[in-house]
Structure 1
Amino acid sequence: MAQGAVKGKAKPKKPAKKSVPMRKGGRVIAPKKSRIIHQQKLKKNLEVEIRKKIEHEVTQKASSNMPKKLALLKAPDQGKKDKGGVAGGSKA
């Protein structure tokens, strides 16, 4: 066996990482150029405004066809669940 290179020892296998479940929402790679960042921010704001306007028009058309007036309900804030609990009160 004078001709070939010496084979390396086999390395022990590492355990595979657990797969993390997919998260909701689109994936966007943040751009490095400020002009592109500004364009993306403007585009997002325009999309939000257009969606709000469409929703408003749809509710107006739906309410005009109904004999009873429609009322829009707002979802409660997710961050303000525990207001009554004591966070870090001191005992005096």
Structure 2
Amino acid sequence: MHYQLNLLLTDSPAAIERVLQTTRYRGFTLHQCEMQTASGEIQLNMQVSGEQPIHLLTSQLSKLYDLLELVLDPSSVRVNRLFEPQVDALAVS
């Protein structure tokens, strides 16, 4: 699934590095990243994808001491591929 994350970080030398490392460690792939700095803060918008539930990433990102705000854009959540429901064949006696 694809997700859009909007983060507000303190403007410290390794803040973005920690976010990207956490994203990679949690098994998510970065597809797009935009960054702007202003007033001692970094606005980081990233599009990521992964097979794991997004809460595995957001819960770890929320522990970073550089993080001031984290918003998961619900309109950006989309499925990579559609799966057909599996129907189990029942033996009828």
Q: Return the TM-score normalized by structure 2.
A: 0.23
Query: How high is the TM-score relative to the length of structure 1?
Result: 0.23
Relative contact order: is structure 1 or structure 2 higher (C-alpha 8 Å, sep ≥ 6)?
Answer: 2
Bigger proportion of residues as helix? 1
